[in-house]
Chain A
């Protein structure tokens, strides 16, 4: 068996006329943290949805532990997804359930454990994210950072082999971002699971990832160990990583000549 948990081969996905992902080849090594970086709207979230098989690719294959998940049927997918965890951008806690019930939800569905054991497992995971005391709160009563941590506890409750993080650091203050970063690292080390982080938050992501891909307009423009990518010579990678306003990604939306547009010619 290969050392990769997920392998994407020639993955193409388009929405209407717009090609979002253009024949991508990506390997996600097992047990490592892989970061997928790229500017907003480059198809990162779509990529996660494809790996979670909530979307079907137009072309190409998605291998998860050797199985091509893009060929599976609906009910087979539901079984397979028990082995995946996903932390959504907004947390996506179920608003009608308390924090405790949210975390217990996958357990109640997929296992027949007695109530006392469910309670212990949920409290262990809640303790790991520091929310053991918040178990009886409703999601509406949590702050953004707290609900994301509760969602993280839910994502890891079944000890999945693969955890996907969709923009985990977006909209977080530095303290929470730091907390989350350490959590992701600790979970990865403690559970030995494969992690995919999709983000445009470079500093936080680079510090914990083992391997990086940089995506732009549906293509891979750079990949490698974090150090190598950070020191890349590629102009597009440099522009993104260093946050330069103008470069290969132009500052201006395509427009006719400025002077003629302002009708300054006659003067």
Chain B
């Protein structure tokens, strides 16, 4: 019993220490002067690595999810003769919840894990240590552009996801199931608010971008420098960032749309 309590306490302390290390990493990576010697090339390369490479999975999943939403929504709504509200249902679901959340989960799986693995590999092959010996702070040169790139890329990916998903829903709803295109769009436009729905979705995506890349970069730096260590760190990135995204989504939804 006592040893169980002790173990619980130790786990708690480990978790607290982990949060501390992650916080220190973020602070050290973000604070401090911008080093122009690195130029914009590093950020561009990371945007390419994190953003452009994630585009395919985001677009394909977006179209499919939009199509499924339209199909499911239609079968429910048509019973009440309210299938013209399909556009409203699909767009609100996507903009408020599904878009940012699913895009963030895909982003964690695609880009987050790749970031962790890349940084972990750099650590294992002593590249980070070599940077330190050359006199470069790896937090500034490795962590900072990756964090920035993730934070920039995530809102973009989420909006692209929303767009292709709505287009996918149009494809199924209008072209296949025969919902009137005019009422589809006008219903959507009447119920979607720019500030409330579109912008809150952007804010959510931004917040998720911060959390997912932060976890990914931190896990990379914190990985045991062994092949095994990299693989556990990669797994941890995906698990932790998915959980963090879902938990934050609930919090943000409660703040943004909750009863006041």
Are A88 and B130 touching (Cβ within 8 A)?
A: yes
Which of B45, B133, B136 touches A86 (beta carbons < 8 Å)?
B133
Binary interface encoding of chain A residues 92-115 relative to chain B, with 1 for a CB under 8 A from any of its CBs, else 0: 111110000000011011100000
A54 contacts chain B at the CB level, 8 A cutoff: yes
Chain A residue with Cβ nearest B136? A109
Chain B binding site: helix, strand, loop or mixed by DSSP? helix
Q: How far is the CA of A254 from the CA of B37 in the complex (A)?
A: 55
A188 contacts chain B at the CB level, 8 A cutoff: no
Q: Would you mind naming 28 contact pairs between A and B with Cβ atoms under 8 Å apart?
A: A49-B129, A54-B129, A54-B133, A78-B132, A78-B137, A81-B132, A81-B133, A81-B134, A82-B135, A84-B133, A85-B133, A86-B130, A86-B133, A88-B129, A88-B130, A90-B125, A90-B126, A91-B125, A92-B126, A92-B129, A94-B130, A95-B125, A95-B127, A105-B134, A106-B135, A109-B37, A109-B135, A154-B134
B148 to chain A minimum Cβ distance, whole angstroms, is 17
CB contacts (< 8 Å) of B129 on chain A: these are 49, 54, 88, 92
Q: How far is the CA of A125 from the CA of B29 in the complex (A)?
A: 32
Are A88 and B126 touching (Cβ within 8 A)?
A: yes
How many of chain B's residues have a CB under 8 angstroms from any CB in A?
A: 16
Task: Give residues in A with beta carbon < 8 Å to B.
Answer: 49, 52, 54, 74, 78-79, 81-82, 84-86, 88-96, 105-106, 108-110, 151, 154
Q: How far is the CA of A114 from the CA of B133 in the complex (A)?
A: 24
CB contacts (< 8 Å) of B134 on chain A: these are 81-82, 105-106, 109, 154
Q: How far is the CA of A105 from the CA of B138 in the complex (A)?
A: 13
A78-B135, A94-B131 provided; 12 other pairs, C-beta below 8 A?
A49-B129, A52-B132, A52-B133, A78-B136, A84-B133, A88-B126, A89-B126, A90-B126, A91-B125, A92-B130, A94-B130, A106-B134
Chain B residue with Cβ nearest A112? B37
Q: Among residues 123 to 164 in chain B, which have CB atoms less than 8 Å away from a CB atom of chain A?
A: 125-127, 129-137
A213 to chain B minimum Cβ distance, whole angstroms, is 22
CB contacts (< 8 Å) of B45 on chain A: these are 96
Q: Among residues 92 to 136 in chain B, which have CB atoms less than 8 Å away from a CB atom of chain A?
A: 121-122, 125-127, 129-136
CB contacts (< 8 Å) of B137 on chain A: these are 74, 78
B199 to chain A minimum Cβ distance, whole angstroms, is 36
CB contacts (< 8 Å) of A95 on chain B: these are 121-122, 125, 127
Closest 3 CB pairs of A and B: A92-B130, A92-B126, A88-B126
Q: How far is the CA of A54 from the CA of B127 in the complex (A)?
A: 13
Are B130 and A81 touching (Cβ within 8 A)?
A: no
